[in-house]
Structure formats: structure tokens, C-alpha cells
């Protein structure tokens, strides 16, 4: 089977797609794209949309982490990403939808907000990536890339703060999915691969890691993506983190 995956280094849905390819045992080549530049590159490659992950596999082009999951399941049914039991499958698909539609974006917005404040950590997110130019030179282009990415992702003060305020509820939901056995079972499923990278990305922020790592959601990320690339030193305003601190205190009591 021939497969090439187009990613932005450290993109959480792109890491989800990589985990699924690995689970399926499908060998693939990876092309690393810089954010923003990725939009034109994907268009030039003939993909209909402008986001990663984007996969060329067996002559077809598939885009989006959930669409990729289904195509991989179709092409290679075993090991399965989706449970066979219809009830369990519905629960896993709902968890996957939650991961894609509710969890991914606030974490993306928080990260771009921090990078807008300080571009230096961007380099750590590209560790090991092959972006077609020396990393030092690429980092010189970081200012417009970060500004545009923050703009496209609407990483405003208001949205970053709202994302942080929503995070306790989102983490509770992940913990509940774990407690229900929908995710973090003996065999990882598509929802594990969708959700864990978002938690892993959040934990690259030093502001957030201590507030997540003691929770079941943090343990899931440690299990599924122990080496998530990137590290952002503390930068978020203390008052924006208050909603999360409250959760940790009540969880510990």
C-alpha cells in the first residue's frame, strides 16, 4: 500500500492520523508543511480543502482526521479502529466527534495565542521535522506565519480566554469517557487517537501541564503520545488560568 501523509509539525489532528496509520501497520511517507504555506501547497497538490492532515493513499486523496480514519478502516479493516458492537461504536464515534469538533479548536487557539506573544517556542514544535529549509531560516519567517495563523484561527484574547474557561469542562468530559470505558481501554480506538493528541498538545504548555497531568485525561495523553513535540514556558495570564485552578483544587479535595 502506498501512502503519503501531509502534516504541519505538531498538529494534533495530524498526529492523530499518524497514530492511526501506525496502528494499522500501514507504512507511509510524511511531508511536513509550514502553517499558512500549507494552504497553497495542499491546493497545488489537488486536495479540496486547506487543512492537514491530508493523505494520499492508493491513488485517492483523503482529508480530515475523521475521514482518514474511515478510509484506513475500509482499506485495512484489522486491527479495527472502530468497535464491532453497534452500541459501542456509536459511543466511540460520538467521542471522536467531540474530540474533533469541540476539543481540538480551543487548544489550537490557545497555542496560537501564546505563540503570538512569544515566537521562540515555535522551534520546539518543529523538532525533527523536515520542512524543506534549515530550521533557523524557517524561524526567521515565523513572524508572518504566526501572525497569519493566529488570525486564521481567531486566536484573539477573548477566544483564548474563553478556551481556557471551557477547558475544565472539556477535560471532565474526557475523564468521563475514560471512566465509561469508551476510551483508554485495553485496545486503543479511533476516539483515543482523536482525543489524546489534543490533550498532549495542551500539555506542551507549561501553564497547563500541571493542571492536566494528574487527571485521567493526562494519563491517556501520556500513554498514547508520550513524546508530543513542543514546549511553551509559562506565558498565560494568571487570571485566565483561574477556572482551571479551581477544578484542580476541587478534584484533589
Ligand X SMILES: N[C@@H](CCC(=O)N[C@@H](CS)C(=O)NCC(=O)O)C(=O)O
Interaction between residue 114 and ligand X (CB under 6 A) = no
Site track for ligand X across 66-105, x = CB under 6 A: ----------------------------------x---x-
CA gap 175, 171 in Å, rounded: 6
CA distances, 65 to each of 52, 122, 151, 154, 226 (Å): 8, 23, 23, 21, 20
Interaction between residue 159 and ligand X (CB under 6 A) = no
- The answer to whether the CB of 164 falls within 8 A of the CB of 55 is no
The nearest distance, CB 16 to ligand X, in angstroms, is 7
Which residues lie closer than 8 Å to 123 by C-beta, 6 or more apart? Answer: 135, 139
Question: Using the rule CB under 6 A, which residue among 5, 11, 81, 125 binds ligand X?
Answer: 11
Site track for ligand X across 34-63, x = CB under 6 A: -xx-xx-----------xxx----------
What element of type H or E holds 45? none
Interaction between residue 65 and ligand X (CB under 6 A) = yes
Q: Give the chain's length.
A: 253
* Beta-sheet pairing, 29-32 with 60-63: unpaired
- The smaller minimum CB distance to ligand X, of residues 43 and 245, is found at 43
- The smaller minimum CB distance to ligand X, of residues 12 and 23, is found at 12
Binding site for ligand X (CB under 6 A): 8, 11-13, 35-36, 38-39, 51-53, 64-65, 100, 104, 108, 149
Amino acid at each position: 500500500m502506498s501512502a503519503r501523509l501531509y502534516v504541519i509539525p505538531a498538529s494534533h489532528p495530524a498526529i492523530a492520523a499518524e497514530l492511526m496509520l501506525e496502528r494499522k501497520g500501514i507504512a507511509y511517507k510524511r511531508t511536513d508543511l509550514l502553517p499558512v504555506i500549507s494552504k497553497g501547497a495542499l491546493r497545488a497538490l489537488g486536495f479540496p480543502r486547506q487543512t492537514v492532515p491530508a493523505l494520499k493513499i492508493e491513488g485517492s486523496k483523503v482529508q480530515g482526521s475523521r475521514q482518514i480514519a474511515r478510509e484506513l478502516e475500509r482499506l485495512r479493516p484489522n486491527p479495527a479502529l472502530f468497535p464491532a458492537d453497534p452500541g459501542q461504536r456509536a459511543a466511540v464515534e460520538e467521542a471522536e466527534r467531540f474530540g474533533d469538533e469541540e476539543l481540538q479548536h480551543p487548544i489550537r487557539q490557545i497555542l496560537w495565542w501564546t505563540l503570538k506573544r512569544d515566537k521562540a517556542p515555535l522551534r520546539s514544535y518543529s523538532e525533527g521535522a523536515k520542512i524543506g529549509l534549515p530550521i533557523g531560516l524557517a524561524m526567521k519567517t515565523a513572524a508572518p506565519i504566526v501572525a497569519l495563523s493566529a488570525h486564521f484561527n481567531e486566536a484573539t484574547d477573548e477566544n483564548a480566554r474563553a478556551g481556557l474557561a471551557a477547558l475544565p469542562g472539556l477535560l471532565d468530559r474526557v475523564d468521563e469517557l475514560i471512566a465509561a470505558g469508551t476510551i483508554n481501554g485495553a485496545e486503543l480506538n479511533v476516539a483515543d487517537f482523536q482525543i489524546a493528541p489534543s490533550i498532549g498538545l495542551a500539555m506542551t504548555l507549561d501553564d497547563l501541564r500541571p493542571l492536566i497531568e494528574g487527571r485521567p485525561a493526562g494519563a491517556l495523553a501520556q500513554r498514547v503520545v508520550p513524546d508530543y513535540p513542543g514546549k511553551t514556558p509559562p506565558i498565560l495570564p494568571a487570571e485566565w488560568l483561574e477556572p482551571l485552578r479551581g477544578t484542580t483544587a476541587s478534584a484533589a479535595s
